[in-house]
């Protein structure tokens, strides 16, 4: 599986960080999300899916 982030859509709400802090953080300069683990393990699917669903800007998507 692979996580995709559209930085043009990201508004820096940080919901992804709250849901999956090991997988996302906010950039200090831009305030937008950063993917820490682009290809998470299958065992992390539930937490990554929750982070994707929690994005109000719909800037995240999960492939695979």
CATH of the domain at 55: 3.30.70.20
Show the 3-state SS of 20-40: CCCCEEECCCCCCEEECCCCC
User: How many structural domains are present in the chain?
Assistant: 1
Give Cβ neighbours of residue 52 (< 8 Å, ≥ 6 apart): 3, 16, 60, 61, 62
**Measured CA angle at 15 (ends 40, 9), to 5 deg:** 85
**Rounded to an integer, what distance in angstroms lies between the CA atom of residue 52 and that of residue 64?**
13
Domain extent for 46: 2-63
**What pLDDT, on the 0 to 100 scale, is given for residue 61?**
98
> What is the tens place of the pLDDT at every residue in 10-64?
999 999 999 999 999 999 999 999 999 999 999 999 999 999 999 999 999 999 9
pTM of the model: 0.93
**What pLDDT, on the 0 to 100 scale, is given for residue 4?**
98
């Amino acid at each position: 599986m692979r996580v995709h982030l559209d930085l043009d859509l990201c508004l820096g709400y940080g919901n992804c960080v709250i849901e999956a802090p090991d997988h996302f953080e906010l950039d200090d300069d831009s305030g937008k999300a950063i993917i820490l683990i682009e290809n998470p393990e299958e065992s992390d699917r539930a937490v990554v899916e929750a982070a994707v669903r929690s994005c109000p800007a719909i800037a995240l998507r999960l492939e695979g």
